[in-house]
Amino acid sequence: MSALIECVANFSEGRRSAVVESIVGAIADTSGATVLGYESDSDHNRAVVTFVGAPDSVAEAAFAGISRAADSIDMDEHRGQHPRIGAADVVPFVPLRGACMDECVRQARALAARVGAELRLPVFLYERAALQDVNRNLADIRRGGYEGLKRQLAAGEPPLPDYGPRKLGSAGGCVIGARDILIAFNVFLTTDDVAAARQIARRIRASSGGLPHVKALGLRVRGQAQVSMNLTNYRVTSIARVVEAIEREARTFGVDIASSQIVGLIPADALTAAEAERLRVENYSPARILERHLDKIK
């Protein structure tokens, strides 16, 4: 069994399904890459495509997807609820079975150089693949969005790309990197008051002293207030813990949780561990899960 890495690529298109399918097609057509799933959201106007394979194949498929997105998405026309800087907005590599972070960092940097040179897009390396410390955090790169980044690059202000031109065309920029597995998780509130969602997001996120390894934003999606999150270490801060905290904070606004959403795929353990705890299972460990053993069997 060969080493496997995952790519969870975010593209700035969630409304024109033909465009999303064309990008997914470009990725799926790459030999050795397997698309595990994709989903698009019309409020966020973005699509998330999850694919896996041997490291070289996944990098090749990512290049194909970035190239197709850059050709078919005009950021000057793009409107959506989520911060974004480009057509192929964020492209992280994640080590899975038998792969290490160093391999993902190598692939990310090689892909960044190629995208800068061949597609002429400004590329920012982030997280574990960052070359500039100020670019390590995705939120810092995306803070001004596509429009802000255009002004910043024109003025020669950071964030500065690691590869490609220092100016923004209509395909925008691209953030490429390597990171551990993360869980993208959204909670809808029983209100349309986006100010409440923003306030709750501020209280629970790590950067303002909330829960460790939690990134959170308040948005309005489907006419409802939503707390949109990335949990960057679910073993330290579980989904269950985050939901509890949001429930508590929501009560101070006199509202409740309406529902929640998983974006993309999640490791089984992110749900099983919490459920086992709730059921007071004294002998739970991830090794109790049958499926964990089956991919070792030929």
Which residues are known to be catalytic?
A: 82
The residue within the footprint of a copy of itself, chosen from 101, 160, 206, 289 (CB under 8 A), is: 289
User: Which of the ranges 74-82, 83-91, 147-155, 237-245 carries the binding residues for a copy of itself, by CB under 8 A?
Assistant: 237-245
User: Which of the ranges 20-28, 123-131, 211-219, 286-294 carries the binding residues for a copy of itself, by CB under 8 A?
Assistant: 286-294
The residue within the footprint of a copy of itself, chosen from 17, 25, 36, 208 (CB under 8 A), is: 36
170: helix, strand or coil: coil
Tokens coding 195: 């100010």
Residue 262 makes contact with a copy of itself by CB under 8 A: yes
16: helix, strand or coil: coil
Cβ-based nearer residue to a copy of itself, 79 or 280: 280
H helices of 73-192, in order, are 101-118, 138-142, 145-154
DSSP 105-138: HHHHHHHHHHHHHHS---EEEEETT-SSGGGSSH
Residue 283 makes contact with a copy of itself by CB under 8 A: yes
Report the C-alpha gap between 213 and 235 in whole angstroms. Answer: 10
Tokens 């990512």, residue?
62
Residue 258 makes contact with a copy of itself by CB under 8 A: yes
Q: What is the smallest separation between the CB atom of 157 and a copy of itself, expressed in angstroms?
A: 39
Residue 31 makes contact with a copy of itself by CB under 8 A: no
Q: What is the smallest separation between the CB atom of 297 and a copy of itself, expressed in angstroms?
A: 6
188 to 207, contacts with a copy of itself by CB under 8 A? none
Residue 292 makes contact with a copy of itself by CB under 8 A: yes
- For 229, counting Cβ atoms within 10 Å of its Cβ (0-12 exposed, 13-18 middle, 19+ buried), the class is buried
Give the amino acid at 98: G
Residue 281 makes contact with a copy of itself by CB under 8 A: yes
198: helix, strand or coil: helix
Residue 140 contacts by C-beta under 8 Å, 6 or more apart in sequence? Answer: 134, 159
130 to 149, contacts with a copy of itself by CB under 8 A? none
Nearest to 172 by CA among 84, 108, 110, 48: 84
User: Which of the ranges 61-69, 84-92, 223-231, 266-274 carries the binding residues for a copy of itself, by CB under 8 A?
Assistant: 266-274
Residue 267 makes contact with a copy of itself by CB under 8 A: yes
Residue 261 makes contact with a copy of itself by CB under 8 A: yes
- For 12, counting Cβ atoms within 10 Å of its Cβ (0-12 exposed, 13-18 middle, 19+ buried), the class is buried
Per-residue x/- track, 43-72, a copy of itself (CB under 8 A): ---------xx-------------------
Residue 170 makes contact with a copy of itself by CB under 8 A: no
Half-sphere exposure at residue 144, Cβ-oriented, CA atoms within 13 angstroms: 13
Report the C-alpha gap between 25 and 228 in whole angstroms. Answer: 28
Residues that bind a copy of itself (CB under 8 A): 1-2, 4, 6, 34, 36-37, 52-53, 96-97, 181, 239-240, 243, 257-262, 265-268, 271-272, 274-276, 278-284, 287-298
